[in-house]
Amino acid sequence: MRWTHRPRGCPVNGDGWLDWLRREGRIVVVGASLAGLRAAETLREKGFAGSLTMIGDEPHEPYDRPPLSKQVLLGVAAADRTALPRRRALDATWRLGVPATGLDMAARRVRLADGDEVPYDRLLIATGVRARPWPREAEAELDGVFVLRTRDDGAALARRLAEGPKRVFVIGAGFTGSEIASACRERGLAVTVAERGAAPLVGALGGVVGAVAADLQRGHGVDLRCGVMVTALEGDASGRVRAAHLSDGSTVETDVVVVSLGATRNTEWLAGSGLGAGPRGIACDAGCRAFDIRGIVTDDVFVAGDVARSPHPLFGYQFLSLEHWGNAVSQARTAAHNMLSESTDRLPHIWVPAFWSSQFGVNIKSVGVPSMGTEIVVSQGSLDDRRFIGVYGYQGRVIGAVAFDHARWLPFYQELIETTAPFPPAFPSVGRRSDGQRPMDADFPDPSVPTHGPTVTLSGYSPADRRMTFTPAH
């Protein structure tokens, strides 16, 4: 039988069950952010007329996160004006500000922090990620120490920047840390950035491109410190941060510290549930169905967004976790479609990773999985001009591309990735070529060293592998 606890009047056979689900079923979405909202809208668009419940740990309805590190920090947009546009009315029950604390797959119930339980017939998990905090709790609680992930984080940091601090100290030069530094410089604030790696963005784009990013930051007045770790944050007698101590023995006086050490996937609430969930995310198949801890795919629990890890045929069927806006939207729509479909009508989620960032006046966009590459060639433009396209190669094929102020050609490179084109690419008629550079080592850091940089994480082939140890990068 399909059901352990079958609702009254629900048929057992497949076609009749799906018809009943569309008319009278109960779908619960845990995670009221971008992926959860777009999935819910798609469910209604596909004709789902049953009960829809949206569960979110924040008190706010879904909002857009990219503006938080850009327009909000610049003071040109308010954090409470970043709500995501609605494509349609949802007719949903919203359970906001009450996080999920457990899942009973046998009884098909989600447990909430307030003690309530919400039954479901199909469940979508889109709990995303949260900012990784400073590891020393007492130092993390100093006044003036921030992270940036939520709307409340953005509002609090924007208020502090508007007060005109003497210096902002950013720990970590991944994309978010670099965007924060950019916003601070645009506001005329003194900024120091500490990065354990050899350059900004090195975990995501490698050392060749990272060197360009380093020159970009220093050219805009950032006090960039690479190859160093933060050993301690020091507070004054009133409990306000006053300095950061570095591994090279130096001390930087500062009154604002922003910890930008990457993200932690929100899976702890699933401990003991039987799902294949851990620090790497929740494993699911290409149709967004979750795996259990035995590696067996479920049929009633689906996953979408940053918390998902799913196999991708273009990248050796390794499980990928993607912290990408576009991926969250695409995967949510696929999951919603498949939740209401027979197996023969289900669709695979094979979205090619794509990411963008705006910092220090430069538009940075990437496609594919640059961090999987071992070589890079500058196919168009010039590194010296900070306007170029770098193409990444892995085992003789094009695996990714990044553009600095040169994005018009990225669809062409995406097609090369999708068709597993050979590396290095040969296309003398495409655009203006670079200065004839040959492929070089992409210079990614040792993968055994923790890095907060990649927005794409490859996590092996096992859907039941939940092992991972994080060592603080600072």
Give me the helices (H) in 25-70, please: 34-45
DSSP symbols for 239-276: SBEEEEEETTS-EEE-SEEEE---EEES-GGGTTSSBS
> Minimal CA–CA distance to 94: which of 75, 118, 72?
118
pLDDT at 320: 85
Contact 365, 404 (CB under 8 A): no
pLDDT at 452: 53
CA 231/CA 242 separation, integer angstroms = 14
Pairing of strands 109-112, 100-104: antiparallel
CA 362/CA 201 separation, integer angstroms = 14
Helix (H, G, I), strand (E, B) or coil at 233: strand
Helix (H, G, I), strand (E, B) or coil at 303: strand
Give me the helices (H) in 356-451, please: 410-418
DSSP 348: -
- Where is 72: in which H helix or E strand? helix 71-74
Residue with tokens 């399909």: 2
pLDDT at 457: 65
Contact 110, 28 (CB under 8 A): yes
Question: pTM of the prediction?
Answer: 0.91
pLDDT at 321: 86
Asked if residue 424 has a cis previous peptide bond (ω within 30° of 0), the answer is: yes
pLDDT at 388: 96
CA 106 vs. chain centroid, Å, equals: 30
Q: Which two tokens stand for residue 94?
A: 């919203």
| Per-residue CA distances from 320 to 68, 258, 296, 371 (Å) | 25, 28, 18, 12
> Which regions of 12-60 does DSSP assign to beta strands (E)?
26-30, 51-56
- Residue type present at position 248: D
Contact 405, 363 (CB under 8 A): yes
- Where is 216: in which H helix or E strand? helix 202-219
Sign, Cα dihedral of 187, 192, 194, 199: positive
**To 5 degrees, how large is the angle CA 36–CA 62–CA 346?**
20
Regions of the chain with pLDDT less than 50: 1-4, 429, 468-471, 473
Q: Which two tokens stand for residue 388?
A: 């170029």
- Residue type present at position 362: V
| Per-residue CA distances from 148 to 151, 356, 456 (Å) | 8, 18, 19
**How many Cα atoms sit within 13 Å of 258 on the Cβ side?**
33
**To 5 degrees, how large is the angle CA 53–CA 58–CA 62?**
65
